[in-house]
Structure 1
Amino acid sequence: MMYIADENRYEKMLYNRVGKSGLKLSALSLGLWHNFGDVDLFENGRALVRRAFDLGITHFDLANNYGPPAGSAEENFAKILERDLKPYRDELIISTKAGYGMWAGPYGDGGSKKYLVASLDQSLKRMGLDYVDIYYHHRPDKETPLEETAEALDLLVRQGKALYVGVSNYSPEQTREIAEIFAAKKTPFIIHQPSYSMFNRWIEDGLKDVLVEKQLGAIAFSPLAQGLLTDRYLNGIPEDSRANRETGLWLHKENVNQTIGKVKALNHIAKERGQTLAEMAVAWILRDGIVTSVLIGASKVSQIEDNVKALDNIHFSEEELAAIDEVLKG
């Protein structure tokens, strides 16, 4: 049965301008870091993308190495585009990145012109696209001058392979420096993608100031601290949870045990606001207008629907913000 997007998809979603650019992003974006690889159920990923778009989420965020295996998330997204979203291409913001190890040898990693140009060509081929809307350098590369990385991204815009460029995981100093290089080239550098959550507030130590100074947008990943900022761990660690796996890279039992007191206190504040903890955690990131969009991940359609509910109340009183800060300092 042919997919037809919900005709009311734009009615409830918020769209925020990206820095000083003319582009707007949906306040929530869907990341394809997990659940879209060849090891995952394709029809589930397809359902996630379709439901996200039906709810007004227009931005779909990928990277060359998302999977596993690396590259498979882009390939699977291409199938979803072909089957469902091809008629809506001009309503979509599709982004990808390069910066982490992707292929063997000295040219498959980092920030060199050789790697960034080749990687985007590969990504476009995997996704069946002529261009991406945003192309990010995924992480700074200390072995490559920022001028070379900036030159590569500028070239790709001039070649028509990317409309805008961004960076991810850059420090405040690196962000300011590359912003100035891009400004001299008149490159449409518009956005930074940092990790950010109530439990990970590093961008408040300088980066937010740079974003305001340079009039850049931001899209925050890992807003729920890998699930800590949800109700999943309020009553202990579930058997099937990420934290229960000894090999867990991002989330461990220690994380849960050390933060559970704060999680319960934050959950109490969320209830008083009429929100779930996850909804409040997403809303909190958007509280001051500096972050343009929150990048969510999902394994179930219901998780996307729940996250969208956060937009019903993104305003905080001074008392609520003070109470949250008090919990987080404790």
Structure 2
Amino acid sequence: MSNYPAERAHEVAELLRQAGVPLLVHQPRYSIFDRTPETSGLLKLAAEDGFGLVAYSPLAQGLLTDKYLDGTIPAGARAAASAFLKPDQLDEHYRERAAALNEIAKQRGQSLAQLALQWVLRQPEITTALIGASSTAQLDHNVAALDFPPLTEEELSRIDQHGIHGTGQRQPTGASR
């Protein structure tokens, strides 16, 4: 299943269990900038109900890559032509937070994308992360995230300071961040 809130996911898991069918996978959106599986209790529920989570959009539509760090939108980039990512999402708040996360990544000798993937995959409930690689080189680069040492508690704390839920997401008119 995909995008079910935690309460509903538990109901589905129970119904399937009663029918003798195990729930194996739930597919939520999860990234440093979208913490919903943490705040909704879905990570805890997955552990309790015994299903894995396949995170989609772990790079937040490219916001957790170096693509937009300089404030420009490269030709052919998702923000140039996507219904899911618009240029106005690349605001000052995003750039400040992404630059700080990029600095943490550089200190670890990795890219922002590799840091973001490693951060998502550190959760034992996350069985895999779906990445939208557009080339084999990009795929190889992202898979290399698995080669870095685990994130330390200090690094996780620093990531939490800058990886704020809702960063880069479209805000309703008049909403503040």
Q: Which runs of 5+ in 1 are unaligned?
A: 1-166
Structure 1 residue 244: Cα displacement:
2.7
Q: Is 1:175 the equivalent of 2:9? A: yes
2:19 paired residue number:
185
Structure 1 residue 328: Cα displacement:
2.3
1:212 paired residue number:
47
1:223 paired residue number:
58
Question: In 2, are the aligned partners of 1:284 and 1:314 still within 8 Å (CA)?
Answer: no
Q: Which runs of 5+ in 2 are unaligned?
A: 165-176
1:243 paired residue number:
79
Structure 1: how far apart are the matches of 2:50 and 2:12?
Answer: 13
1:7 paired residue number:
none
2:168 paired residue number:
none
Structure 2: how far apart are the matches of 1:314 and 1:229?
Answer: 19
1:27 paired residue number:
none
In 2 relative to 1, CA 297–239 (structure 1 residues): closer, same or farther, beyond 3 Å?
closer
Structure 1 residue 266: Cα displacement:
0.2
Structure 2: how far apart are the matches of 1:323 and 1:297?
Answer: 26
1:315 paired residue number:
150
In 2 relative to 1, CA 314–213 (structure 1 residues): closer, same or farther, beyond 3 Å?
farther
Question: In 2, are the aligned partners of 1:199 and 1:225 still within 8 Å (CA)?
Answer: yes
2:161 paired residue number:
326
1:297 paired residue number:
132
What is the aligned length? 162
Percent of pairs with identical residues: 43
Query: What do the CA deviations read for 1:70-114 (whole angstroms, capped 9, x no partner)?
Result: xxxxxxxxxxxxxxxxxxxxxxxxxxxxxxxxxxxxxxxxxxxxx
Structure 1 residue 238: Cα displacement:
2.7
Structure 1 residue 178: Cα displacement:
0.6
From the CA coordinates, give the structure whose radius of gyration is larger. Answer: 1
After TM superposition, the score normalised by the length of structure 2 is 0.87
Structure 1 residue 327: Cα displacement:
1.3
Point out which structure has higher relative CO (alpha carbons under 8 A, 6+ apart).
2
Question: In 2, are the aligned partners of 1:283 and 1:310 still within 8 Å (CA)?
Answer: yes
Structure 2: how far apart are the matches of 1:327 and 1:239?
Answer: 24
Question: In 1, are the aligned partners of 2:25 and 2:51 still within 8 Å (CA)?
Answer: yes
Amino acid at match of 2:78: R
Higher strand share: 1
After TM superposition, the score normalised by the length of structure 1 is 0.47
Query: RMSD across aligned C-alpha pairs, in angstroms?
Result: 1.4
Structure 1: how far apart are the matches of 2:74 and 2:12?
Answer: 45
In 2 relative to 1, CA 239–310 (structure 1 residues): closer, same or farther, beyond 3 Å?
closer
Structure 1 residue 186: Cα displacement:
1.1
Structure 1 residue 314: Cα displacement:
5.5
Q: 2:99 aligns with which of 264, 271, 278?
A: 264
Structure 1: how far apart are the matches of 2:129 and 2:159?
Answer: 19
Amino acid at match of 1:294: A
Q: Secondary structure in 2 aligned to 1:293? A: strand
Question: In 1, are the aligned partners of 2:13 and 2:22 still within 8 Å (CA)?
Answer: no
1:35-50 aligned at under 5 Å gives the runs none
